[in-house]
Amino acid sequence: MKRTREMPTIFVSGSGFRAAMLICLLALSIAPLLIEGKAHGASLIQKGSQVPGFEVPLSGGGSLKLSQELGKVPVLLLYWSLYCEHCREDLPQIQKMYERMGPSKVKVLAINGDGMSATKMVQGYWQKQRFTFVSLMDEEKSDGFLVEGLLGVAKTPAAVLVNRAGVVLFSQEGVLDLAGLEENIRKAN
C-alpha cells in the first residue's frame, strides 16, 4: 500500500484573518517605496533651507567636510545607490553636464547610500564609468545613514543644489529633471 503525505492546511479565521489581511495590505502599500528607494517617511530638504553640515568618507579614502566646499561655487549633492536604475541612468548624464560646465561652475558630490561594505563596488563602478566628480560614502549610524537623514532622502536618486552660502536652490528625488537642475546651476553662477 502506497503512503501519501498530505500537506497541512492552514486556516486563519476571525481576528487572525483580519490581522493577516492588514499585514498584506501594509506590505503592498510600502512595496513601491522599498523598490524605488528608502522607506522611512523623510521629506527631502526644501528650497530656501540651510543645508546641514556633515563630514563623510571619500570612497577612495580620507574624508570630506561639506563646510570646506561651500563658498567657492554652487555644490550639487547627489544621493545615489548602485542598486538604483535611475541613478545608473542619471550619473552619466550628470558627468556630461559636469564636463560642459566645469569645476569653476559647480562642485558635484555624489554620496552613495549603500553602506561602507559597498565601497569596493562603488570604486569599481566609478572607475569603469570614468566619473570625474567626487565620490563619497554615507556614514552608517545606529538609526540609519547620516547624510540620508540630514537631507531627508526618501528615495534615490536625490539631488540637492546649494549656493555658495549653503542655501538650497533646488531639491528633487526619484526621476531627476536634469535640464531643470542644469538651469538652476547656471542661475546660481
CA distance 114 to 122: 9
Query: Does a structural domain hold residue 101?
Result: yes
Cell numbers 545607490 label which residue?
81
Q: How far apart are CA 185 and CA 189, in angstroms?
A: 7
Q: Judge if 76 and 146 occupy the same domain.
A: yes
CA distance 101 to 98: 5
Q: For position 120, which CATH number holds?
A: 3.40.30.10
Question: Where do the H-state alpha helices sit in the chain?
Answer: 15-36, 66-69, 85-101, 119-129, 146-151, 178-188
Q: Are residues 24 and 96 in the same domain?
A: no
Q: Is the pLDDT of residue 46 over 70?
A: yes
Q: Are residues 31 and 72 in the same domain?
A: no
* Predicted local distance difference test score (pLDDT) of residue 52: 96
In a domain, residue 168? The reply is yes
Instruction: Indicate if 66 and 114 belong to the same structural domain.
Output: yes
4 is a domain residue: no
Give tens-digit pLDDT for 57-76: 999 999 999 999 999 999 99
Do 119 and 176 share a domain, yes or no? yes
Domain annotation covers residue 150: yes
Report the pLDDT averaged over residues 113-128: 96
Q: Name the 3-class secondary structure at 62.
A: coil
Residues 6+ apart with CB under 8 A from 169: 47, 74, 161, 162, 163, 184, 187, 188
For the record, the C-alpha cell of 15 comes out as 481576528
Residues 123 and 89 in one domain: yes
Dihedral angle computed from the Cα positions of residues 144, 115, 127 and 99, in that order, rounded to the nearest 10 degrees: 0
Residue 8: pLDDT band by 50, 70, 90 thresholds?
A: very low
At 22 the pLDDT is: 46
The reply to whether 3 falls in a domain is no
Query: How many domains, in total, are found in the chain?
Result: 2
- Can you read off the three cell numbers belonging to residue 136? 563619497
Q: Is residue 44 part of a domain?
A: no
pTM passes above 0.85: no
User: Does one domain contain both 90 and 129?
Assistant: yes
